[in-house]
Amino acid sequence: MNVFRWMLLIFWLWNGANCASLNKLHELPHCTKTTTMEGTVTDTDDTGRNVNVYSTTQLQMGLHDSVCLQISDNTTLTDSSLLHTIQYLRLEQHYPVIGSYKFGIPEVSSTCLCDCAGGDNICDLKKYHYQNCTQGSVCYRTFRPSQSSVGCFNQEKSEVCCEIKIEPFNQWKFTAIKIKQPDTVIIFRYRIFERIKQKWRDYSDDTIEVPLDKGIAKFELNNYHKIELSITGSRPNRQLEPGLYFWQHNEPGLALRGGVTLNDIAETSMDKLGWMRYEKEEWSVRNGLVKLTQAQHINVLDCKNQKYISTINGEQLVVSGDNKLMESYNLGSLIIEDPWVKAVSVIDSRFVKIEHGEGTGIVGSIKTEFKPLMLTHSSQFESFNGTLQLDKYSNRFMNVSFFEAKGTLIGTIFSSEAKDRGDLSFSVQIDGTSTRDYNFNVAVPPSVNGSRYVCVHPSGDYMGQHCVWMTFNEVPLETFTISNHWISDQAECHGCNEFTIESIIEKLDPQKMWKSLKDNAALYIGIPSFLIILYIVIRIACCINPLISCLFPAPHKK
């Protein structure tokens, strides 16, 4: 045993540990009662003779449980012993990322002009029909023929031309990721303590990752004492479903979100989140010319005065116009808000790590060359309180706070103080040998739909039971309303659709008329206009000629 202690001392000095750290006292973990069976295993050689006899211990462990194996050394005058502790530290699920993209919430605004038939050529087909423009991060031009002629001097259909500008709302930027089935990993904390003169010192502290996806995992904890550990378990009952999730840039922490339909990596539906992409250092909408032209709808109210209403047939966007914003987007819910999730992180943009708040039960087997003494600690608590909650996502759970507590606490939820019917039994593990305050969430079944009588006692001490009434708080489901995207607007176009004598005479310019006759629309508009003006001139001449004859009669011959 002294040789092993010297080996540990050399190891710490080699790694830069100073004398002060060697003499530092450390608190032991809370040693849990986890043993279910003890026995021996005998190895034999080819002749059938016993070669080695090993001690085996079967264990059942839950999240935060600790197993403590004590080895005493009674051969020295130092009265020393070693304590090997194995703590079920946490359960993690690693989700590989198989695709990602960056996107924003599109803020769409449009400016349109209405062109009455026969007036100035405000809307040029070549300039507006499926054309790009330079305004904003993304800009498209659209052309709408056969619109209402309200306000125009004739009944011919008008034309509308627009510029659609798209900006990222509030300059927000998001990253969407697609994940697949996770790998489940248990992390153990393995520590060695030495007890010298009634004081524990920590000589070794390591973490060990054990995958659960490949059946039984076997590994050697300590080569000197021949401690071998075998672990088997299953995946936890709850996990993230494979699919698409996202987070917002420049938000404190990494707030991974889900619960909303996102566009897949190669998809850009305007009915889903993520149709405005950030690619190659610029914003874009895939096939945006066609998509936005098809999505835009306009209703002309007064063409002459440039009054109209417009909308975009899409979701997950903000429509801007008439000095207001109409927001129609849903950012889903935070993954961390699920009661079973303790922590979320994204590592190098290649996998998502979820630390599970509930864990899963595992079965372990410890094989040693010696018969260890299984050390356990007593459990206790002073008081507790809490509430039963049903949140806006229909997560039903009990939020409970323990005061001056340590060890394993066992509780039951009853319908009444008679304790004749229990809805649920639960347990909580509070690590450490000293008492502390501790908060804990536990999922409850749908049968818990009102106030309940909750009783808790330390493990092994039923007489130390405490009971309290907990109220039930229910939050209504979130409601989502679809905003009315129709925006009223009036364009500024001075002199547009104004028909004066000068404009009519200008239209009758033979050179311009001949040039405009090449266009079918001008042919149908120019000829009737010419005939109307000619008729007016003839009528005026017919009226003026008799008047002149009366005012200036011709002289009679004598």
DSSP structural state of residue 335: G
The answer to whether residue 381 sits within a structural domain is yes
pLDDT at 557 over 60: no
The answer to whether residue 365 sits within a structural domain is yes
**Alpha-carbon span 222 to 227, nearest angstrom:** 5
Rg (CA), the chain: 41
Q: CATH number of the domain that 58 lies in? A: 2.60.98.60
The answer to whether residue 533 sits within a structural domain is yes
Contact between residue 421 and residue 415 where contact means Cβ atoms under 8 Å apart = yes
Beta pairing partners, 365:
58, 230
- Could you tell me the pLDDT band of residue 107, with boundaries at 50, 70 and 90? very high
434 and 295, same structural domain?
no
| Tokens encoding 163 | 């510029």
Q: CATH number of the domain that 408 lies in? A: 2.60.40.3980
325 and 215, same structural domain?
no
The answer to whether residue 61 sits within a structural domain is yes
**Alpha-carbon span 430 to 404, nearest angstrom:** 10
What is the arrangement of strands in the sheet containing 296-302, beginning at the earlier edge strand? Answer: 296-302, 307-312, 487-490
From 346, 374, 402, the end of a domain falls on: 374
| Domain that residue 547 falls in | 510-551
Greatest Cα-to-Cα distance within the chain, rounded to the nearest angstrom: 170
193 and 120, same structural domain?
no
The confidence score (pLDDT) of residue 21 equals 36
117 and 70, same structural domain?
no
**Alpha-carbon span 213 to 211, nearest angstrom:** 6
Q: Per the structure, how many domains does the chain have?
A: 4
470 and 390, same structural domain?
yes
Q: Among candidates 378, 370, 366, which has minimal Cα distance to 71? A: 370
383 and 461, same structural domain?
yes
**Alpha-carbon span 81 to 70, nearest angstrom:** 7
> Percentage of the chain with pLDDT > 90?
47
39 and 10, same structural domain?
yes
Can you give the pTM of this predicted structure? 0.78
- Could you tell me the pLDDT band of residue 176, with boundaries at 50, 70 and 90? very high
| Tokens encoding 258 | 């889900």
The answer to whether residue 241 sits within a structural domain is no
189 and 160, same structural domain?
no
The answer to whether residue 76 sits within a structural domain is yes
| Tokens encoding 161 | 């031309």
Q: Per 3-state DSSP, what percentage of the chain is helix, strand, and coil (rounded to 5)?
A: 15, 45, 40
pLDDT digits (tens, 9 = 90+) for 413-453: 999 999 988 899 999 999 888 899 999 899 999 999 999 99
- In sign, the C-alpha dihedral spanning 114, 117, 118, 123 is positive
Beta pairing partners, 535:
none
- Pairing label, strands 80-104, 373-374: unpaired
192 and 58, same structural domain?
yes
The confidence score (pLDDT) of residue 335 equals 94
Least confident of 107-121, 167-181, 388-402, 466-480: 107-121
**Alpha-carbon span 397 to 472, nearest angstrom:** 10
| 482 vs 122, more confident | 122
**Alpha-carbon span 192 to 206, nearest angstrom:** 9
384 and 363, same structural domain?
no
**Alpha-carbon span 32 to 290, nearest angstrom:** 66
Angle at the Cα of 276 from the Cα atoms of 314 and 488, rounded to 5 degrees: 45
pLDDT digits (tens, 9 = 90+) for 12-71: 334 433 333 333 456 788 888 877 777 877 777 667 666 677 888 888 899 999 998 887
**Alpha-carbon span 219 to 56, nearest angstrom:** 15
544 and 404, same structural domain?
no
Average pLDDT over residues 368-390: 89
200 and 280, same structural domain?
no
The answer to whether residue 480 sits within a structural domain is no
The answer to whether residue 95 sits within a structural domain is no
pLDDT at 543 over 80: no
**Alpha-carbon span 103 to 263, nearest angstrom:** 10
- Could you tell me the pLDDT band of residue 250, with boundaries at 50, 70 and 90? confident
